[in-house]
Structure 1
Amino acid sequence: MKQLLWLLFIFPCLGIAQDKPQIKFGGALRFNYIYSSWKPEQKQQGGDFMYDMFRVNAKASYLGIKLNAEYRLYSDEFGGGVLKQGWLSYSFNENDQIHIGLTQVPFGIQQYNSHNWFFNIGYYIGLEDDHDIGVKFIHEKEEGFNYQIAFFKNAEAIAFGGNSDVSYSRYSYDVSSMDIDGDGVLDYRNKEINQFNFKFNYKLNHGDFRHQMGAYAQYGGLYNLDTKEVGSHHGYGVFYELDFKKINIKSELLHYTKSPKNPESERSELFAMAAYGAPYLVASKADMATLAVAYTLPVNWKPIQSLQFYNDFGYIKKSAQGFADSYMNVTGIGIAAGHLYTYIDFAAGKNHSWLGGNFIDDFAQGTPDAKWEARFNINIGYYF
C-alpha cells in the first residue's frame, strides 16, 4: 500500500507531462416513464412520468496526474446526492496506470455486464459496476494478456468513525445495516473493510471477431459493529465477451460467500445491503449466471443514428435450504440520437426486490411460489 502511494506521487516528477491544466465538464439529465404490474394505483393512472437524476462529470489533468469524478443528484426518496466515482490516476506508459480514490472494483465484465437501463441482476447484490475506496493498478492493452490488482480500504464512506453505520445514500450496493423489526435499533450491522481484488483477461482479435475471456476473485473483511469482530467475504468467477460485427454477447458465472460475525440473535445466512436510500436483506451464499445479447443497427432517421436491440438475463441460485432463487430478464431497445439516448425496457423479475414482491426479503429467503412481475420503463437522457 505505501509503495503504491509513493509511486503515485513520485512518478510525475520523473516524467515529461503537459505544462497547462486541462479541465472538461459534462453531465446528464434523465427522466423515467414507469408502468409496473404490481402497483394497482400506478396502473389506474396510466403509469408515472418522473425525474430520474441529474449528474455532473468532471475530468482534469495536469503534470501527468488525472482526475475523474461523477456526482449524481437523485430525488430524496432515492438517496439524494451521491458520488458515484471520484479518483486520481497516473499513467506510467500507454498500458499501465494507477488509480486512487473511489474507483470501480475489478469484478466481472467492465464497465457493465448489461445493455439496459436496469443493469443485470448482479448489480443489485453489489457485483456489477461497484465502486469502493482504495488503490488499483491496471495493465491493459488492445490484445493479449491484461490484469488489474486492487486494494480497497472500505466501501464509499460518508461518516467518519469506526462505529458508524454505512449510509444508505449511495450509488453502489454495499454491505450495510438495517432495522429488521421496526424498533428503531439497527440489525445486521456489518461493513466492508480491507478488500483485495485480482482480475485477469485475455483479448483476442481475429477479423470481425473480438474475444475477451478471463477470471476474477476478491477477498475481504466484514466488520460487525455489534460484536466488534471481523468476518470475511469472498467471490470468484469467469466471464466471456464476444463482439462480432453488430453483435455483442456478455456471459458470466460466479460465486460469492459472506461470513459475517453477527450476534447470536441474527441469522448467519442473511446480511443487509443498501443503495438508493433503502436497505434490504440478501442471501449470504449463492451462485450467479448471466447472459446478455445485443444487436446494434445503424440507421439514418434524423436525428436517430442507431438502434440497439438487447435481451439481458440473470439468475441467482441461493445455497441456503428453503431459499427461493431470484430471476431477472430485460428485453429492450436503446435509441441513440445525438446527445439524446433513450432506453425502452420491459423488465421482468421473480424474487427481485426492485421488480415486485417483497422488497426487504426477495434477494434473501424469497417466496417459493412467487409470481413473475414486470415493469415497462422508458428512460430519456440527454448527455453532454
Structure 2
Amino acid sequence: MLKKITRLQCTKKKCLMLLFLLMVLPLTAQDKPELSIGGALRFNYNLSSWKDGQKKRGGDFGYDVFRINAKGAYKGILMNAEYRLYSEGFGGGMLKQGWLGYNINEQDQIQVGLTQVPFGIQQYNSHNWFFNLAYYVGLEDDHDMGIKYMHSSEKFEYQLAFFKNAEELRFGNNSENSTSRYSYDVTGRNKEVNQFNGKFIYKFGEKSASRVGVSVEYGGLYNLDTEEVGNHAAFAAHYELTKGKWNAKAQFIAATNNPENAIGESDDVVTMSAYGAPYEVAADFNMYTLGISRNVPVEYGPITNLQFYNDFGFMQKKTAGFTDSYMNVTGVLISAGNVYTYVDYAAGYNHSWLGGNFVDDFAKGNPDAKWEARFNINIGYYF
C-alpha cells in the first residue's frame, strides 16, 4: 500500500512539473526579442499633358523611392517604423511612421509616436498610386505625433487619439515646420497643436461586408507671428463595401481652418506642405470622394491578379470667388509575386499636382483652368 501511494505521489509530481513547464515555456519564448525588416524599391514613369518638353521626349522614367520597414516586439511592447528616401526634389529622406505600441488584450491596443491619424476610410480612401483628393489636404493617410487608443471587435471599431503636434523636425522657438514630410500638414506661419480625433465604425453583412462610420477632428493652429491659437476642425461620414472581388469607398468631408494670422494675412487660406514643397489650401471646404475597384485573377507568367479601379474626388470651396477642384484616376494594379505595378491615367482640374498653378490650385484656383492629365506607371518591388 505504501509503495502504491509513493508511486501515485511521484506521478502527481511529474504531472505538476510537466504542467509547470508547459506554462513557462511559452512565456520564455515571448521574452525573446522579435524583429522583421522589409521595404520597397520603386521606379516611376510619367507623361504629363502640361509639360511640352516632356511630351516631345516621350515622358520621363526614373527613381521614385526606397523605403525600409521595421517591426519589433519584446516583452509585450511593439515597434513599427517606416523610413522613406525620395529624391532631393521630392523632400529627400523622411519618416512616414514610427510608433511604440502595447496590446492590452486581443481587441485593444495603444500606440505612441508618429502614428496614423484616425480619420475617414483607412488605410487608404483610394485604390490608385495618387491617392484621392483628401490626401492633398491632410485628411487621408495622415500621420502625427501623439497617442492613440484602438478597439476592434466583431461588430464595432473605434479609435480615440490626442496629437500634440504634426511631425516636428526643427524644435526652434519660432521655427516653421519642415516641408520634408510624407503626409500633408498645416505649415508656414501656423502649426497644428493639441489635436483630438475620434472615429467610430459599425460593421455588418457576411457575403457583403460593410463598414459605415463617422470621424471627427478638432485641434489648434498656433501662429508664430501673433503667438495666438486658432483652430481647425473636420467631420467625415464614410462607407466601404466589399463583396467578392468588388470594393467601393464613399466619403463626405466638411473641414474648416480658422488661423489667428497677423494683420494683412488672409484667413481664407492655409499653407500646407509635403514632399518638400508648400502650397495654399482653401480654409473652408466640403469634399466628396467615390472609388470602386474589381479584382480579376489571372495566370499569365508571374502575374496573378489585375485590380481595375476608378477614384473620383470633388473639392467644393466655400469662399466666394474660389474655383472648385476635381480629380479622377482610372487605372489597374498588376500583381506579380513581390512586384506591384500601378498603371494610372490621372486627370485633374485646379489640382496642384496635375497641371495648372501649383501654388494656389487648391485655394483660389483658376476659373479659366482646363483639365490636365498624367499617364503614370509606378513599378515597385516589395520585400
Matched, 1:87 2:99: yes
| Separation in structure 1 between the aligned mates of residue 204 and residue 300 of structure 2, nearest angstrom | 34
Matched, 1:71 2:76: no
Tell me the equivalent position of 2:193: 193
| Separation in structure 2 between the aligned mates of residue 145 and residue 342 of structure 1, nearest angstrom | 34
Q: State the SS of the aligned residue for 2:55.
A: helix
Q: State the SS of the aligned residue for 2:205.
A: strand
Structure 1: gaps spanning 5 or more residues: 1-15, 178-188
Tell me the equivalent position of 1:186: none
Matched, 1:57 2:69: yes
| Separation in structure 2 between the aligned mates of residue 209 and residue 166 of structure 1, nearest angstrom | 44
Tell me the equivalent position of 2:342: 343
Matched, 1:172 2:172: no
| Separation in structure 2 between the aligned mates of residue 26 and residue 356 of structure 1, nearest angstrom | 35
| Separation in structure 1 between the aligned mates of residue 141 and residue 123 of structure 2, nearest angstrom | 6
Matched, 1:303 2:326: no
Among 58, 70, 73, which residue is 1:46 paired with?
A: 58
| Separation in structure 1 between the aligned mates of residue 178 and residue 172 of structure 2, nearest angstrom | 13
| Separation in structure 2 between the aligned mates of residue 342 and residue 94 of structure 1, nearest angstrom | 35
| Separation in structure 2 between the aligned mates of residue 285 and residue 89 of structure 1, nearest angstrom | 35
Tell me the equivalent position of 1:331: 330
Tell me the equivalent position of 2:241: 242
Q: Is the helix fraction higher in 1 or 2?
A: 2
Q: State the SS of the aligned residue for 1:374.
A: strand
Q: State the SS of the aligned residue for 2:202.
A: strand
CA apart distance, 1:310: 0.1
Tell me the equivalent position of 1:360: 359
| Separation in structure 2 between the aligned mates of residue 243 and residue 260 of structure 1, nearest angstrom | 39
Matched, 1:146 2:131: no
CA apart distance, 1:163: 1.4
| Separation in structure 2 between the aligned mates of residue 338 and residue 203 of structure 1, nearest angstrom | 31
Tell me the equivalent position of 1:204: 204
CA apart distance, 1:161: 2.7
| Separation in structure 2 between the aligned mates of residue 47 and residue 372 of structure 1, nearest angstrom | 19
| Separation in structure 1 between the aligned mates of residue 223 and residue 316 of structure 2, nearest angstrom | 26
| RMSD between aligned residues | 1.0
User: Match of 1:243, as an amino acid?
Assistant: T
Matched, 1:266 2:265: yes
| Separation in structure 2 between the aligned mates of residue 262 and residue 309 of structure 1, nearest angstrom | 45
Instruction: Give CA deviations for 1:2-57 in whole Å, capped at 9, x if unaligned.
Output: xxxxxxxxxxxxxx681100000000000000000000000001000010000000
Matched, 1:315 2:314: yes
Tell me the equivalent position of 1:11: none
Q: State the SS of the aligned residue for 2:330.
A: strand
Tell me the equivalent position of 1:185: none
CA apart distance, 1:162: 3.6
Q: TM-score, normalised by structure 1?
A: 0.92
Matched, 1:32 2:44: yes
Instruction: Give CA deviations for 1:172-229 in whole Å, capped at 9, x if unaligned.
Output: 000011xxxxxxxxxxx001000000000001132x2100000000100000001111
| Separation in structure 1 between the aligned mates of residue 173 and residue 240 of structure 2, nearest angstrom | 40
Q: Structure 1: which 4+ aligned runs deviate by more than 4 Å?
A: none
User: Match of 2:176, as an amino acid?
Assistant: D
CA apart distance, 1:301: 1.1
Instruction: Give CA deviations for 1:42-78 in whole Å, capped at 9, x if unaligned.
Output: 0001000010000000000000101000000000110
Aligned residues: 357
| Separation in structure 2 between the aligned mates of residue 113 and residue 254 of structure 1, nearest angstrom | 12
| Separation in structure 1 between the aligned mates of residue 318 and residue 368 of structure 2, nearest angstrom | 18
Instruction: Give CA deviations for 1:344-378 in whole Å, capped at 9, x if unaligned.
Output: 00000000000000000100000012100000000
Q: State the SS of the aligned residue for 1:41.
A: helix
User: Match of 1:360, as an amino acid?
Assistant: V
259-268 or 155-164: bigger deviation? 155-164
| Separation in structure 2 between the aligned mates of residue 162 and residue 135 of structure 1, nearest angstrom | 23
Instruction: Give CA deviations for 1:306-361 in whole Å, capped at 9, x if unaligned.
Output: 00000000010000001000000000000000000000000000000000000001
| Separation in structure 1 between the aligned mates of residue 117 and residue 106 of structure 2, nearest angstrom | 21
| Separation in structure 2 between the aligned mates of residue 343 and residue 162 of structure 1, nearest angstrom | 43
User: Match of 1:101, as an amino acid?
Assistant: G
Q: State the SS of the aligned residue for 1:353.
A: coil
| Separation in structure 1 between the aligned mates of residue 173 and residue 131 of structure 2, nearest angstrom | 32
User: Match of 1:64, as an amino acid?
Assistant: G
| Separation in structure 2 between the aligned mates of residue 28 and residue 118 of structure 1, nearest angstrom | 17
Tell me the equivalent position of 2:12: none
| Separation in structure 2 between the aligned mates of residue 355 and residue 162 of structure 1, nearest angstrom | 36
| Separation in structure 1 between the aligned mates of residue 102 and residue 173 of structure 2, nearest angstrom | 30
Tell me the equivalent position of 2:3: none
| Separation in structure 2 between the aligned mates of residue 327 and residue 364 of structure 1, nearest angstrom | 12
CA apart distance, 1:300: 1.2
| Separation in structure 2 between the aligned mates of residue 158 and residue 205 of structure 1, nearest angstrom | 44
User: Match of 1:109, as an amino acid?
Assistant: I
316-325 or 161-170: bigger deviation? 161-170
Q: State the SS of the aligned residue for 1:248.
A: strand
Q: TM-score, normalised by structure 2?
A: 0.92
Tell me the equivalent position of 1:114: 126
Greater Rg over alpha carbons, structure: 2
